[in-house]
Amino acid sequence: MYRAPKSLVSPDKTHSFLVGWSERKLPIYIAEYGGERAGVPKGEDIPFPRHKVQAAVELLTYGSPKHETLTTIARTVRVSSALLRVWRTEKRFLTVYRRALWECADDFIQLLASSWQEQRPSPSEEFCRFFGVVLQHAILQRLCADVLRMVPKWIPPGLPPKWLSEYRLVENPPKRPTSFSEDEIRLLKSNTSMLLSTNLQRLGTREPGLERWASMMAMHDLMTETFLQKDLREEAERCGCDSVIKSINFITSQPAMDRYQALYRHLHSANKGRRSR
């Protein structure tokens, strides 16, 4: 039985969503994309070695605190960073990487829509500690644009050229018709607010008070808009309270996502100011 090289994603395999997901999915991908190279008829795709399939899955951690470079990913699967860079230019390898990325993002969103197990780190902690930069933004794209429709298209705020280039490798996600109940949508909105506010704290402004303030403001705006647009509006419409509906329209005339972007620009400018000193 194949045993994959030990992953560096997390030292605690029982608690990390990403490690558990990888251990469950990797054998499936290996069975589909791997195999013996000898005896393959001419013209057919040559199967991937098992560690090459694992490399595509391990790229989901690229940019996380423990996997900030491709070199650390390469060490995980015991290949050179030069070979990994070559693989990342291959269309079939990128197909596996894209599939793993969007399947992982969708499975995590399903988890966000259900009760979170107490022994597991919180969604925002998983998001920050274990998920790579592109996986984080794939999740936010699914949530903000595809599921909750908070924005017509998710545009990652402030990604440097390196990560923008990486993100473009996996743009245009596959369409998956997923429906959620009203209770699940409420939970998804709450968790999305948490992930977005957490994302504001990754800029490294060295101003903890400013980061916490921006995070709390983002959470407040997003949750307030959800409450006003759903619960309060429904009650006002049921009671025929036109004045309340007008107030809701006025308060929500500027979407919370616009204010989120404004907060991001504020933090980003503060970060640039600190670096220029």
DSSP string, 78-138: TS-HHHHHHHTT-HHHHHHHHHHHHHHHHHHHHHHTSPPPTTSPPHHHHHHHT--HHHHHH
pLDDT at 76 > cutoff 80: yes
pLDDT at 147 > cutoff 50: yes
pLDDT for position 262: 76
> What is the average pLDDT across 12-36?
82
Asked if residue 171 belongs to a domain, the reply is no
Q: 48 phi and psi, to 5 degrees? A: -80, 145
Mean pLDDT of the chain: 79
Asked if residue 241 belongs to a domain, the reply is yes
The residue range of the domain holding 231 is 178-277
Q: How confident is the model at residue 7 (pLDDT cuts 50, 70, 90)?
A: very low
List of residues 6+ apart from 73 with CB closer than 8 A: 55, 58, 59, 61, 62, 67, 84
What are the Cα distances from residue 216, in Å, to 39, 162, 200?
Answer: 60, 29, 10
**Are 136 and 156 a contacting pair, CB within 8 Å?**
no
Please tell me the pTM assigned to this model: 0.79
Asked if residue 189 belongs to a domain, the reply is yes
Least confident of 51-60, 160-169, 183-192, 257-266: 257-266
Q: d(Cα 135, Cα 266) in Å, to the nearest integer?
A: 25
Tell how far CA 248 is from the center of its chain: 31
Asked if residue 214 belongs to a domain, the reply is yes
> What is the average pLDDT across 144-156?
86
pLDDT for position 201: 67
Q: 64 phi and psi, to 5 degrees? A: -75, 165
pLDDT at 176 > cutoff 70: no
Residue of 271 and 193 predicted with greater confidence: 193
Asked if residue 133 belongs to a domain, the reply is no
Asked if residue 187 belongs to a domain, the reply is yes
pLDDT for position 124: 83
How many structural domains compose the chain?
1
Least confident of 89-103, 152-166, 223-237: 223-237
AA identity, residue 254: Q
List of residues 6+ apart from 160 with CB closer than 8 A: none
> What is the average pLDDT across 153-170?
83
Residue of 214 and 89 predicted with greater confidence: 89
Query: If you average pLDDT over each of 11-20, 113-122, 150-159, 169-178, which comes out highest?
Result: 150-159
Q: d(Cα 102, Cα 86) in Å, to the nearest integer?
A: 22
Residue of 28 and 218 predicted with greater confidence: 28
Query: If you average pLDDT over each of 91-95, 160-164, 203-207, which comes out highest?
Result: 91-95
Q: How confident is the model at residue 84 (pLDDT cuts 50, 70, 90)?
A: very high
pLDDT for position 36: 59
